[in-house]
């Protein structure tokens, strides 16, 4: 997979931009606050058809403008694709090969990007929700059905919670019909998560082993919020019915896959509590490296790798881990950095100098 060309109009701090990109390494460099990350975000948007999480449409449109246009040409297994995105305050309009895209989630993983932001350390250090979401996003990129089932699952939980929250007396049956849905869909979700964790752990062992950090072992762990039985759906159903009285008091559902705990163990210890800043960053990097390998194993293609300002906060030893990961990767990479010379030149290397919303290729 490769982004061949990107054009922007009135996007963030870019008035107008048209750039070719290359296989191998694309280094976006320049001083701080010139628009390096904005450019990376545009790459992410045009491939993934959605902006960085938490970014509002109104923030994507250049100050004082009505709309921004983002256009990309992406080469994938099925040939050259054109993605057009018009961003307005009220919403985004996306076209793939001139056809309007109604459901972004249907295209999730089509042009897969693996993104590494400094804030991704939250995957390790942040809350349970962040870790669950991360795992689910990796599963979704490989199994599109997961996205739909997560949505259906959430819907069933909301329906059950609504019943639990009612002041008047509710019949057991009127809650159990949602238990049934939660159990049925939840079992599929947990199944896929556990399968994914197994593959993840194999890849993590490879990644850590290959980088001479075999003294460190990293694993993903899964903690059930319910008592696990041979039949997952049955186990969820039982847990829900056992917890009905207490759930009724609290007004929400306290067991099920939405309460399961995804954790990372570094040398057998809970990374969210014991890992240092540097260790956590490395772990995130190893996760992303594993993600790339998993995606390639399942689909036969390399995702596009985006790395934002990753060398900051990494000491020399950990940088070598990063650069080794980079040099092994045969797909297209976008990296932002304040100093292009800190990125080791291996293979194809193209640099782009960003200076207050203008980009000079080859500089």
Q: Which position among 59, 73, 122, 152 is part of the footprint of other proteins (CB under 8 A)?
A: 152
Specify the residue, 115 or 142, whose C-beta has the smaller distance to other proteins: 142
Specify the residue, 88 or 155, whose C-beta has the smaller distance to other proteins: 155
Q: Note whether 241 binds other proteins by CB under 8 A.
A: no
Min dist CB 324 to other proteins, Å, is 35
Specify the residue, 33 or 145, whose C-beta has the smaller distance to other proteins: 145
Q: Give me the residue label for tokens 């998993």.
A: 294
The span from the CA of 26 to the CA of 322, in Å, is: 16
Min dist CB 7 to other proteins, Å, is 30
Q: Which backbone phi and psi does 90 adopt, to 5 degrees?
A: -75, -20
Specify the residue, 44 or 153, whose C-beta has the smaller distance to other proteins: 153
Q: Write out the binding residues for other proteins, residues 156-185 only, by CB under 8 A.
A: 156, 158-159, 162-163, 166, 173-174, 176-178, 180-181, 184-185
Find out whether 12 and 41 touch, Cβ atoms under 8 Å.
yes
CA distances from 76 to 107, 190, 294, 303, 330 (A): 13, 31, 18, 10, 15
Min dist CB 240 to other proteins, Å, is 13
Specify the residue, 172 or 316, whose C-beta has the smaller distance to other proteins: 172
Find out whether 330 and 337 touch, Cβ atoms under 8 Å.
no
Specify the residue, 56 or 102, whose C-beta has the smaller distance to other proteins: 102
Specify the residue, 74 or 185, whose C-beta has the smaller distance to other proteins: 185
Min dist CB 179 to other proteins, Å, is 9
> CA angle, 128 as apex, 156 and 333 as ends, to 5°?
105
Binding mask 132-151 for other proteins (x = CB under 8 A): -----------xxx--xx--
Span of 123-131, 154-162, 290-298, 338-346 interacting with other proteins by CB under 8 A:
154-162
Binding mask 181-220 for other proteins (x = CB under 8 A): x--xx-----------------------------------
**205: alpha, beta or left, given left = phi > 0 and alpha = psi -120 to 50?**
alpha
Helices 232-242/172-210 angle, 10° precision: 130
> CA angle, 29 as apex, 5 and 61 as ends, to 5°?
60
Q: Which position among 4, 155, 228, 340 is part of the footprint of other proteins (CB under 8 A)?
A: 155
The span from the CA of 57 to the CA of 53, in Å, is: 11
Find out whether 62 and 69 touch, Cβ atoms under 8 Å.
no
The span from the CA of 115 to the CA of 44, in Å, is: 8
Find out whether 69 and 9 touch, Cβ atoms under 8 Å.
yes
Helices of type H across 211-265: 232-242, 244-250
- Count of residues that interact with other proteins, criterion CB under 8 A: 22
Give the binding site for other proteins (CB under 8 A).
143-145, 148-149, 152, 155-156, 158-159, 162-163, 166, 173-174, 176-178, 180-181, 184-185
């Amino acid at each position: 997979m490769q982004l061949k060309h990107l054009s922007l109009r009135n996007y963030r701090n870019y008035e107008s931009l048209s750039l070719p990109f290359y296989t191998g390494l694309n280094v976006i460099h320049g001083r701080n606050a010139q628009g390096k990350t904005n450019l990376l975000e545009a790459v992410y948007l045009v491939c993934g058809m959605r902006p960085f999480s938490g970014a509002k449409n109104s923030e994507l449109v250049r100050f004082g403008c009505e709309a921004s246009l983002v256009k990309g040409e992406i080469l994938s297994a099925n040939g050259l694709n054109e993605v057009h995105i018009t961003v307005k305050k009220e919403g985004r309009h996306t076209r793939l090969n001139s056809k309007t895209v109604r459901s972004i989630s249907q295209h999730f993983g089509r042009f897969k990007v693996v993104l590494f932001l400094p804030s991704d350390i939250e995957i390790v250090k942040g809350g349970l929700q962040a870790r669950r979401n991360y795992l689910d996003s990796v599963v979704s990129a490989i199994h599109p059905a997961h996205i739909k089932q997560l949505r259906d699952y959430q819907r069933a939980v909301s329906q059950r919670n609504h019943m639990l929250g009612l002041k008047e007396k509710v019949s057991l049956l009127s809650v159990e019909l949602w238990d049934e849905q939660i159990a049925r869909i939840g079992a599929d979700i947990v199944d896929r998560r556990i399968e994914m964790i197994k593959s993840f752990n194999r890849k993590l062992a490879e990644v850590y082993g290959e980088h001479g950090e075999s003294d460190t072992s990293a694993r993903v762990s899964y903690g059930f919020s319910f008592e696990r039985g041979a039949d997952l759906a049955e186990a969820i159903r039982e847990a829900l019915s056992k917890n009905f009285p207490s759930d009724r008091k609290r007004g929400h559902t306290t067991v099920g896959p939405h309460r399961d705990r995804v954790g990372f163990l570094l040398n057998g210890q809970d990374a969210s509590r014991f890992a240092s800043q540097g260790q956590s960053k490395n772990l995130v990097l190893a996760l992303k490296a594993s993600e790339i390998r998993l995606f390639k194993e399942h689909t036969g293609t390399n995702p596009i790798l985006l790395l934002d300002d990753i060398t900051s906060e990494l000491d020399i030893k950990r940088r070598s881990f990063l650069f080794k990961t980079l040099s092994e990767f045969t797909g297209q990479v976008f990296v932002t950095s304040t100093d292009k010379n800190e990125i080791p030149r291996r293979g194809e290397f193209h640099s782009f100098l960003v200076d207050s919303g203008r980009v000079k290729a080859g500089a």
